[in-house]
Amino acid sequence: MKRIGIVLKVRKEKIEEYKKAHEKVWPEMKEALSRTGWHNYSLFLRDDGLLFGYFETPVDFATALKGMEKESINEKWQAAMAPYFEALGGRRADESMLELEEVFHID
């Protein structure tokens, strides 16, 4: 399993709304993530809007993203989430995720 860390930036004025939106992630979205290799997926949010995501996958990050691109629910979810993020430049949030380099893992 590969461990993937990603970052995005949530608009400060949308933080509480963003958190509420994740209290009930659509079951179809959860199923699609699982089906395409996004396991142990967690999101962490700092009070200034910095969002850190972590997941484990048997494939690389690009392949995991491509898997989700094929899922029709992903387009709907990305459209619903777009207003929450800063600096997407017309791209979807999943296209704007910045992958972080893993520098340490304790086994």
Q: With contact defined as beta carbons under 8 Å apart, do 30 and 107 qualify?
A: no
Q: With contact defined as beta carbons under 8 Å apart, do 85 and 7 qualify?
A: no
Euclidean distance between CA atoms 88 and 85, whole angstroms:
7
Euclidean distance between CA atoms 38 and 50, whole angstroms:
21
Catalogue the active-site residues: 22
In three-state secondary structure terms, 10 is strand
Euclidean distance between CA atoms 48 and 66, whole angstroms:
30
